[in-house]
Every structure is written in structure tokens, then in C-alpha cells.
């Protein structure tokens, strides 16, 4: 059809096509220029992130990293969502034991259940940390993986955080949700690497953070494969621990479950120290970030002496090595989405 068109016409048509392409490109450019991290105040922390992403994504740049190697790992408790006044998974476990007590009349006379269910805090405390672990184990074993997932979903739908009076999965940090999306938009694959239970997190992590189940690394218990009388299989959750993904277990968990060394890692406590070291020890451009909880008004303020989320040795190394330390009070315009 166009073979017989005058050559000037063809030139003009060609130029028009280029023009349309250019308009498309400039629209894309305008989108890219809007701030991808609107809940972050301008400052050194935000700049260190955007500078890092710019350099590893610059085609032909000295520090370019191909997309397959853009692995970003995030601790969860205290990094992506709140961890005070107690780890949310512990809150789940305690609520769950109360709910399960109806089916376990024998608990009324068995410690530590007796002390916990009767509200005898003194007796419970006297039994030490082991007592708490027994309660947590009870909430996490003796059921199938499907039943456990349902118990987590049911809890999330009803339980409220004691201070904020909101469902626990609303206590996710808006700046970190933006950071995850920003990294993915720049070709990163985002993973959770948490000391929390992998099956606990997967129930809600995809909706909360856009991180699918297969990109959640965490602690796990042994499961047992069984067939019922009708030949239907299930996985029974046993009390035996399979893997603890915390502290030095985080590099081990990354090695076992991801199999590539991340180039970008974010944590908030000494439990993330080895993950940050492991990330930074690779070749080429690297990023290590720490969320420092400094805002008792909008969230919580804690670091060196805290029982939950202690930040001490990792903080020292961050200062010594120039890792990014995010000061929530200074660096985050918004902490939780519901503030706005």
C-alpha cells in the first residue's frame, strides 16, 4: 500500500511514528520523575537509597548489576512492621492458646498453661522463658499447615494492637512498602529474611508488601507428611524445630533458600547483623540499611538496652562502616499509612 507513496510522504509518516514514540517516552519519563518514596523526608538516608539504585541500574555504568543479581532482603519485625510491645507472632500465639483452651480442658491443670490461662503473671514469670516457648509451640504445632494458615488469617481479621487499636497488619511501615515497590520497579527481586515463622508471614506478606510466599525466608518447624483414610495428604506441624533464621542463621537461610548473595539488605537489630555483614562482603556495589526506632510519639523509641529488637553491635558496625541508618523521627514523613 505504501510502496507507491511519494518518498516525502513516507518520510513524514516515519517522522510521525518517531514523534508518537517520543511522546510515549516523555510520558514515561514524567512518571519516573515523580517521587517514588513520598513518605521519606529528603536527607542522607533517602539519598543513599536512590543513589544506590541509580548506580546499579545505570546500563554501561561501572557499578551496573544485571537484574537477576538484584536481590534485596528485608528483615520483617521492626524493619517492615512494628515489633512492640511484643513480637506480633508472640501476640498471635498467646491469643491462639486462649482460643485453643476450649479444646484442651487438661491445660487448666498443666503448667505453663494453667498460669497463663488464669492470668497469673507472677507464676508464669517464675517459670521463665521456657514456659513462654511452650505456649508458642502449642499454637504452632499439632495441626496441619492448612489449619495453621487459617488460624493466622482468623487472628489477623479480629485481633487489634493494644496501643494503636488496629489490626496488626495495618502496622506496616509505609516508607518501607514504598521502598519495596521502588526496588521492584527497578528490577530488584525483594525477599523477607526474618526470624519469624515462615508459615506465619506468608499468610499476609503478599498483600502487605507485594512479596509472594516463595520469597519469604523464615524460621520453620518440621512437618510430617500423612495420608488420611481417604488417601488425602496433609502436612502435620510438629513441635520440632527445622531451622532458626536469626542472627548467624540469616546468612545460612539466605544460602539455603535463596542461593544468591543479596546486594541490598535492610534490618533493625543485632539479629540482622550477620545478614548485613554477609551482604556487604560480596563484590561490587552493596547497600546495608538499618531502621533506628527513634520516634516514641508516632511509634516506639528503643535501641541498645531493648529486650525486643536490641540494636547495639550492628549499630556500631553501621557507624564505623558508613551503612545507612534510618532515623524514623527524622527520615520518615509518614510511619503508618493510617496516619494520613
Binding site for a second copy (CB under 8 A): 1-2, 5, 9-10, 12-17, 19-20, 68, 71, 145, 189, 191, 198-199, 202, 212-216, 220, 222-225, 227, 231-233, 235, 242-243, 248-249, 251-252, 255-260, 274, 277-278, 281
8 A C-beta contact, residue 279 and residue 323: no
Between 126 and 256, whose beta carbon lies closer to a second copy? Answer: 256
Can you tell me which residue has the cell 547497600?
287
> What is the Cβ-side half-sphere exposure of residue 221, based on CA atoms within 13 angstroms?
23
Cell numbers for 146: 492448612
Q: Which of 22/28 has CB closer to a second copy? A: 22
Using alpha carbons, select from 106, 79, 12 the residue that is nearest to residue 325: 79
Judged by CB, which is closer to a second copy: 1, or 157? 1
Please, what is the minimum distance in Å from the beta carbon of residue 259 to a second copy?
3
Name the minimum Å distance from CB 160 to a second copy.
27
Q: How far apart are CA 326 and CA 34, in angstroms?
A: 22
- Rank residues 143 and 222 by Cβ distance to a second copy and give the closer one: 222
In the complex, least distance from residue 37 CB atom to a second copy, rounded to whole angstroms: 26
Cβ atoms of 277 and 321 within 8 Å: the answer is no
CB of 215 to a second copy, least distance (A): 8
Shortest distance in whole angstroms from residue 253 CB to a second copy: 10
DSSP string over 205-254: HHHHHS--GGGEEEEEEEEEEEE-TTS-EEEEEEEEEEE--STTHHHHHH
- Minimum CB–partner distance for residue 147 and a second copy (Å): 13
H helices of the chain, where?
A: 7-33, 44-57, 88-100, 113-117, 121-126, 128-139, 145-158, 174-185, 198-209, 249-257, 273-280, 313-321, 328-331
Nearer to a second copy, 119 or 231 (CB): 231
Comparing CB distances to a second copy, the nearer of 53 and 216 is 216
Amino acid at each position: 500500500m505504501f510502496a507507491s507513496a511519494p518518498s516525502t510522504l513516507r518520510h513524514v509518516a516515519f517522522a510521525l511514528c518517531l514523534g508518537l514514540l517520543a511522546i510515549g517516552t516523555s510520558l514515561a519519563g514524567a512518571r519516573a520523575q515523580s517521587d517514588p518514596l513520598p513518605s521519606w523526608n529528603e536527607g542522607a538516608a533517602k539519598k543513599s537509597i536512590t543513589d544506590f539504585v541509580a548506580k546499579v541500574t545505570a546500563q554501561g555504568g561501572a557499578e551496573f548489576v544485571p537484574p537477576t543479581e538484584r536481590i534485596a532482603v528485608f528483615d520483617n519485625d521492626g524493619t517492615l512492621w512494628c515489633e512492640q510491645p511484643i513480637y506480633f507472632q508472640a501476640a498471635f500465639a498467646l491469643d491462639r492458646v486462649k482460643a485453643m483452651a476450649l479444646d484442651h480442658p487438661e491445660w487448666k491443670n498443666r503448667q505453663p498453661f494453667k498460669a497463663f490461662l488464669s492470668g497469673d503473671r507472677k507464676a508464669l514469670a517464675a517459670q521463665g522463658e521456657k514456659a513462654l516457648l511452650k505456649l508458642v509451640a502449642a499454637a504452632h504445632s499439632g495441626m496441619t499447615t492448612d489449619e495453621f494458615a487459617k488460624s493466622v488469617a482468623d487472628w489477623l481479621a479480629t485481633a487489634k494492637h493494644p496501643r494503636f487499636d488496629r489490626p496488626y497488619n495495618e502496622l506496616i511501615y509505609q516508607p518501607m512498602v514504598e521502598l519495596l515497590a521502588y526496588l521492584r520497579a527497578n528490577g530488584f527481586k525483594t525477599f523477607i529474611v526474618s526470624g519469624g515463622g515462615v508459615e506465619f508471614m506468608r499468610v499476609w506478606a503478599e498483600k502487605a508488601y507485594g512479596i509472594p510466599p516463595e520469597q519469604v525466608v523464615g524460621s520453620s518447624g518440621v512437618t510430617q507428611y500423612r495420608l488420611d483414610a481417604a488417601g488425602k495428604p496433609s502436612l502435620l506441624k510438629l513441635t520440632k524445630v527445622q531451622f532458626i533464621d536469626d542472627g548467624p542463621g540469616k546468612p545460612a537461610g539466605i544460602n539455603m533458600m535463596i542461593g544468591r548473595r543479596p546486594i541490598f539488605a535492610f534490618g533493625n537489630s543485632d539479629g540482622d547483623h550477620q545478614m548485613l555483614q554477609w551482604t556487604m562482603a560480596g563484590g561490587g556495589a552493596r547497600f546495608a540499611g538499618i531502621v533506628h526506632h527513634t520516634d516514641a510519639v508516632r511509634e516506639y523509641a528503643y535501641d541498645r538496652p531493648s529486650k525486643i529488637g536490641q540494636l547495639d553491635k550492628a549499630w556500631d558496625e553501621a557507624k564505623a562502616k558508613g551503612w545507612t541508618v534510618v532515623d524514623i523521627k527524622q527520615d520518615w514523613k509518614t510511619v503508618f499509612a493510617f496516619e494520613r
